[in-house]
């Protein structure tokens, strides 16, 4: 049967944080312990002590030595053996997830700004892509490539024999290559929307002009246009390579106003670069955080007045 969706578990582990995986592990063990407690309660005929069985099974799954017994019969002893096996497998599986997360998968070496801004120079239009290296490891031969991916809903029925999905490579300049990049220093490179040419029209409509034809994409009609940035580099300390992908939704993730510039200076005494305004790297997130704290203060004041 198709489609086959392989490696879903590995994809889930790769795309979620350690905290999220830990919470999932706790929830899965709790659900499993509750199911086993209910089954044991019905088999033994002691449904009233289901919560007690749940507590014993749940703590046993986390490695605690069992201090509860079942009748000395063949079926009950098989249940005990099954629980003992689970108590060994459960911590081992979680340890394997942590090892897989830390030592096998390398992610987020490159941190991109959530938005890109438009820059115009004469008749040419560019897109500024801002990023910095978040890894403490030294990266070499850092290179970027970019692609535009489009989807036309009206082509779903294969009308005019034109495929609804298309991918167009974008040509980058020399500023997209960093042989010896600096860690924790904000940088940027520019995309030139020339071949294909990308125009941002009114009401969120995007026009992609290629040599063959012109695509008009309207998100309100089910179309979409996405910009993919692929970062590639080498990590000599690990004798490894890395590949990372950043996706920008067009036009949602495009700012037509210049984003705040980052102020970087070199401290010669410390032999390192320092950035004075990291809070401006994501100004929108900063505003959202300020709004959240302001709401919390207002709620606190309101509760204080009600209490008085």
* pLDDT, tens digit (0-9, with 9 covering 90-100), for 160-175: 677 788 888 988 888 8
- pLDDT tens, position by position, 35-53: 888 887 777 777 777 888 7
pLDDT band, very low/low/confident/very high, at 54 (cuts 50, 70, 90): confident
Q: Can you give the pTM of this predicted structure? A: 0.69
- Percentage of the chain exceeding pLDDT 90: 11
- pLDDT tens, position by position, 169-218: 988 888 899 998 888 889 999 988 877 888 888 888 888 888 888 888 88
Peptide bond into 134 cis (omega under 30): no
What pLDDT is recorded for position 146? Answer: 92
What pLDDT is recorded for position 307? Answer: 47
Please count the CA atoms within 13 angstroms of the CA of 100 that sit on its side-chain side: 16
- pLDDT tens, position by position, 77-100: 677 777 778 878 888 888 888 888
- Provide the greatest CA pair distance for the chain: 87
12 Cβ neighbours under 8 A, 6+ residues apart: none
Residue with the bigger pLDDT between 133 and 237: it is 133
The answer, yes or no, to whether residue 19 has pLDDT greater than 60, is yes
Interatomic CA distance for residues 209 and 121, integer angstroms: 19
Looking up tokens 């207002």 gives 298
Give the CA angle between residues 305, 306, 308 to the nearest 5°: 65
3-state secondary structure of 265: strand
Interatomic CA distance for residues 130 and 260, integer angstroms: 11
Give me the sign of the Cα torsion angle 119, 124, 125, 129: negative
Q: Contact 109/135 with Cβ under 8 angstroms? A: yes
Cβ neighbours, 10 Å, residue 248: 21
What pLDDT is recorded for position 298? Answer: 56
């Amino acid at each position: 049967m198709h489609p086959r969706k392989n490696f879903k578990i590995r994809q889930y582990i790769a795309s979620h944080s350690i905290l999220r995986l830990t919470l999932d592990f706790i929830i899965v063990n709790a659900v499993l312990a509750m199911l086993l407690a209910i089954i044991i309660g019905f088999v033994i005929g002691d449904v009233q002590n289901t919560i007690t069985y749940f507590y014993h099974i749940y703590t046993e799954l986390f490695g605690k030595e069992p201090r509860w017994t079942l009748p000395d019969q063949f079926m009950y002893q098989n249940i005990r053996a099954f629980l003992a096996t689970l108590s060994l497998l459960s911590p081992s599986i979680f340890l394997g997830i942590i090892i897989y997360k830390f030592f096998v998968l390398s992610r987020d070496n490159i941190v991109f700004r959530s938005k890109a801004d438009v820059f115009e120079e004469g008749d040419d239009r560019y897109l500024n892509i801002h990023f910095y290296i978040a890894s403490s490891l030294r990266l070499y031969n850092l290179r970027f490539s970019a692609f535009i991916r489009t989807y036309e809903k009206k082509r779903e029925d294969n009308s005019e024999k034109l495929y609804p999905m298309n991918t167009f490579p974008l040509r980058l300049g020399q500023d997209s290559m960093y042989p010896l990049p600096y860690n924790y220093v904000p940088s940027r490179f520019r995309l030139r929307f020339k071949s294909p040419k990308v125009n941002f029209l009114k009401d969120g409509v995007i026009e992609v002009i290629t040599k063959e034809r012109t695509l008009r994409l309207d998100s309100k009609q089910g179309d979409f246009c996405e910009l993919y940035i692929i970062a590639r580099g080498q990590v000599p300390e690990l004798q490894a390579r890395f590949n990372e992908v950043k996706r920008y939704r067009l036009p949602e993730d495009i700012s037509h106003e210049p984003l705040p510039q980052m102020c970087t200076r070199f401290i010669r005494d410390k032999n390192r670069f320092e950035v004075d305004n990291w809070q401006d790297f994501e100004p929108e997130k900063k505003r959202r955080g300020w709004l959240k704290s302001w709401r919390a203060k207002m709620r606190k004041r309101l509760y204080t007045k009600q209490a008085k």
